[in-house]
Structure 1
Amino acid sequence: MDKFKFEKLVIWQKAMDFGEVIDQVSMSFPDREKFNISSQIWRASDSIALNIAEGSIGQSNLEQKKFIGYSMRSLAEVVTCLFKAKRRNYIIDAKFTELYNEAFHLMNMMSAFRKNIN
C-alpha cells in the first residue's frame, strides 16, 4: 500500500501499534472512568500517530518538527494517564512497566527523528 509518506515512517507504525495496545488496556478500566481517564488516554494515544501523519505532509521541516512535538506531548499525556491508572489500581505494576518502557522507547525514537529533520 504505502501511498502516503507517513505510512513508511517507523515512528508512525509504532505509534499506531501503541495506540491499539492502549485502547485494549483502557477497556478494562472501570465504567466510571469512561468519560474521564479512559476517554483521555484514548484520545491522547490516537493523537500520537495522527500528529505524526499530519506533520509528514506539511510544507516545511519546521512544520514537521512542530507536529512531532505535538506527538511527543500526547505521548507524555498517555504516560501520565498510565500513572493515574496504576495509582487507582486499574493496571498491575507489570503492565504499567511494559507500557511505560514502550512509551519511553517511542519517545526516544520521536526525539531522534525530530533532531534529524533538517
Structure 2
Amino acid sequence: MGSRSFQDLIVWQKAHELVLYVYRVTQRFPKEEMYCLTSQLRRAAVSVPANIAEGFVKQSDADKLRFFNISQGSLEECRYYFLLVSDLGYLSDDLKEIQNLATEVSRLLHAYMREIRKST
C-alpha cells in the first residue's frame, strides 16, 4: 500500500476519471435536468473519489473501510443513474464506456478494501 497521498491510489485516479467523464456527458443533458438528474449524478460521482480521499487519512482500518464503503454506495447510485439516463435517451453513445469505467472503479475499490481487511 505505501502511498503517500490519496492521489497515488489507482482507485482514486480512476474514480476521478469517472467524475470528469460524468461532468462531460452531463453537459449535454437537457437544461430541465440541471437541478435534478444532472445534479444528482454529479453529486454521486464526486462522492466516490471524495470518500476515498477522506478514508485514506483515517487512522483506523474500520474508519477507512467505512469511507470506502460509502464510496461503493455512491458508485452504485451512479450505476443506477447511468441506466436511467440511458433509458431516457440522454446517454446512448457513452453508456458502455462509462459503465466499464464504473466497473473498473468498483473492482479496484473492492481489491483495496480486501487488502485493508487482510492487514487487520
Q: What TM-score do the two structures reach when normalised by structure 1?
A: 0.93
Identity over the aligned pairs, expressed in percent?
Answer: 29
The alpha-carbon deviation at position 97 of structure 1 amounts to 1.1
| Count of aligned residue pairs for this structure pair | 115
- Alignment RMSD: 1.3
Tell me the secondary structure at the aligned position of residue 59 of structure 2: coil
The alpha-carbon deviation at position 95 of structure 1 amounts to 1.3
Q: Which runs of 5+ in 2 are unaligned?
A: none
1:30-69 to 2 correspondences below 5 Å: 30-69=30-69
Does residue 113 (structure 1) correspond to residue 115 (structure 2)? The answer is no
Output the CA distance in 2 between the equivalents of 1:95 and 1:17. 14
Poorly superposed stretches of 4+, deviation over 3 Å: none
**Per-residue deviation, residues 11-65 of structure 1 (Å, max 9, x unmatched):** 1111111100011101111011111110001001111010000000102011111
Counterpart position of 1:91:
91
The alpha-carbon deviation at position 91 of structure 1 amounts to 1.2
Counterpart position of 1:11:
11
Does residue 76 (structure 1) correspond to residue 76 (structure 2)? The answer is yes
CA contact (8 A) 2:14 2:101 kept: no
Output the CA distance in 2 between the equivalents of 1:40 and 1:59. 30
Output the CA distance in 1 between the equivalents of 2:28 and 2:62. 39
Output the CA distance in 2 between the equivalents of 1:66 and 1:5. 19
Tell me the secondary structure at the aligned position of residue 116 of structure 1: helix
Q: Which runs of 5+ in 1 are unaligned?
A: none
